[in-house]
Amino acid sequence: MQYTTDQTFNTSLGFSLYTSNNLADSKQWIRDYQKAGFSFAFTSLNLLEETDQSNKIRPLLQECQEHSIHTFVDINRQVLDSFGIDGLKKLGIVALRIDDGITDSEIVILSNHFKIVLNASTLTSQKISRLKIQGLKTSQLIACHNYYPKPYTGLSLHKVKQFNQQLHQYNIPVVAFIPGEIKRLPIFEGLPTIEEQRHIKPLQAALECLVAAECDYICIGDNALSASSLSKFSFLAKEVIPLEAAVPSPLYHMIFENRLDSSDYVIRAAYSRQQLKQFKLSGSIQQRHLGDIVIANEKFLRYEKELEICLCNLPLDERQTIIGKVRNEDLALLHYVQSPFKFSFVKLNVK
């Protein structure tokens, strides 16, 4: 979901790579993420000793290049002095996340070769003005929030949204981190930007960032995702929200979209009358509840075959037939079914 005109990365989805992980595992994760529609990766040069730089980071960056994954990389004064601009360019890096010791004038010089990533929480209008005066084009800027390994140190959603809206006034896109499922050492408490997301599922966290917090990009802070989550993110990469649900088989993997003039009571599938007119769909007529999937029957005349998902409890209506239900764990996703995101029903993941 884009709030700016930035097109640095092909999709809104990114992941993190750490040289402390096994190289073979990391390479497999790169391939898995790429297949699921992720388009960029974050990693850091700051923590590496000079003797480890070639052995650990180069194979990861090369693997990313081979799979068309753009990389943005943490650098500090020591890294810049060690590699130089030419050395960093040879690594195939697209964007540099600027850390300690690099001056504004050096940032401007670097911006002629790379996208520049600055801290979204501390990037003030005064800092932007100073950089512009020195020759930086704001089209070369990306803002990225930190992740917070220590519980109760993360930012609130409200604060992140405020930061993002301020940065969007300059057409600067924003990245936020969300937690994964396999927590990273040494704290194992997840690596989110937003504190409230520390223990929620990655897909919900991603949608909350992209829609509610108005982020342009999200990046998995932890390590690999499960196969189930990767499958769901492959939908999100195409701006489709997968909803696990029990529905008649013809409805699985059909793509629906909420109307632009959306209701607070139901998700109203905009073109469903045409999409479903050939199917005979049966169900029950009773009081409707949050998450019920409903289709208008012949008694609703010209609305026949219009599909809805209930966003709250609603009374019985003889013109409305309940044909399925979204699983309880996915009910929180319903509020994010809004433009540009469409939705699709997927089969229940039985555990």
Burial 266-296 (b: 16+ CB within 10 A, else e): bbbbbebbebbeeeebebeeeebeebbbbbb
CA distance 254 to 275: 9
pLDDT of residue 50: 47
The domain spans of the chain are 13-238, 244-346
Superfamily of the domain at 13-238: Aldolase class I (3.20.20.70)
**pLDDT, tens digit, 9 for 90 and up, residues 277-308:** 999 999 999 999 999 999 999 999 999 999 99
For the entire predicted model, the pTM comes to 0.94
**pLDDT, tens digit, 9 for 90 and up, residues 78-96:** 999 989 999 999 999 999 9
CATH classification of 244-346 is 2.40.100.10, yes or no? yes
pLDDT of residue 220: 98
Q: Which residue is listed with tokens 């409305």?
A: 320
3-state secondary structure (DSSP) of residue 339? coil
**pLDDT, tens digit, 9 for 90 and up, residues 132-149:** 999 999 999 999 999 999
State how far Cα 39 lies from the chain centre: 11
The pair phi, psi for residue 229, each rounded to 5°, is -65, -40
pLDDT of residue 53: 56
